[in-house]
Amino acid sequence: MAEFVTLEVSDGIGTIRLARPPMNALNRQLQEELRAAAREATVNAEVKAVVVYGGEKVFAAGADIKEMAEMSFAEMSPVAGDLQSALGCISEIPKPTVAAITGYALGGGLEIALGADRRIAGDNAKVGVPEVLLGVIPGGGGTQRLARLIGPSKAKDLVFTGRFVGAEEALAIGLIDEMVAPDEVYNAARKWASQFTGAASRALAAAKASIDQGLDTDLNTGLKIEAQQFAQLFATADRTIGMESFIANGPGKAQFTGE
């Protein structure tokens, strides 16, 4: 039984909930429970889209520094990859994902949110990667995902200074995608996720893989990835359903099965 991370499923939406009061500090146990929740969201056929949520007060204020403070290079070196993969595990879910950000999303907390396909934040949220103020750098994917999301210059500004960014600036630079009232964050995230509960799940997975894998390579290779993903969908039931429905009834009326 997980202590700090749960997966709750309702109406086709899986909510991965972080719950380690008061600030959802990301200790090793929470990281592994997060990985397990992401894996369960991946294999659970009832889950069509995923919301990652830290609760009404805070998303996650970063790694558990007390746990890290006494670690040596020899101790950190073999587990740094585990830290990175755990905080980045949301990016591996082959379904639409959205981070619902309330309060602070700092350091590893922001790195978890960066793994989502979309980020919705309260207008009082504060986000950032303040690791340099501790004498280190983001180690959970922050230097890579942040630069790909907002560009290297803006990413370097945030990483070099370690400053906290308010919701308005985060929206302006593309770090978050939507800003709402703090008490509407979770509802807004569920509203976005609900668009996909009746969608062609395999097509969404193919679209996500094509975009994510394509961004990691050159254009020609990306186009080959797209072509392969596109062709594979012709082996799915949803492709038949979608095209037959279009011919008979026009667009947007297909009743997909996820197969």
Between CA 52 and CA 38 the distance in angstroms is 10
Q: What angle do CA 189, 44, 176 make, to 5 degrees?
A: 25
Q: Are strands 97-101 and 104-106 parallel, antiparallel or unpaired?
A: unpaired
| Catalytic sites, residue numbers | 111, 131
Q: Contact 120/192 with Cβ under 8 angstroms?
A: yes
What's the chain's length in residues? Answer: 259
121-144: string of b/e by CB count within 10 Å (b at 16+)?
bbeebbbbbbbeeeeeebbbbbbb
State the amino acid at position 190 in one-letter form.
R
Which phi and psi (to 5°) does residue 247 adopt? -65, -40
Q: What angle do CA 245, 250, 254 make, to 5 degrees?
A: 35
Between CA 68 and CA 72 the distance in angstroms is 9
In the numeric block, the tokens 């008490």 are attached to 183
Strand ranges (E), 69-152 = 97-101, 104-106, 118-122, 126-128
Q: How far is CA 234 from the centre of its chain?
A: 28
State the amino acid at position 243 in one-letter form.
M
Which phi and psi (to 5°) does residue 250 adopt? 90, 180
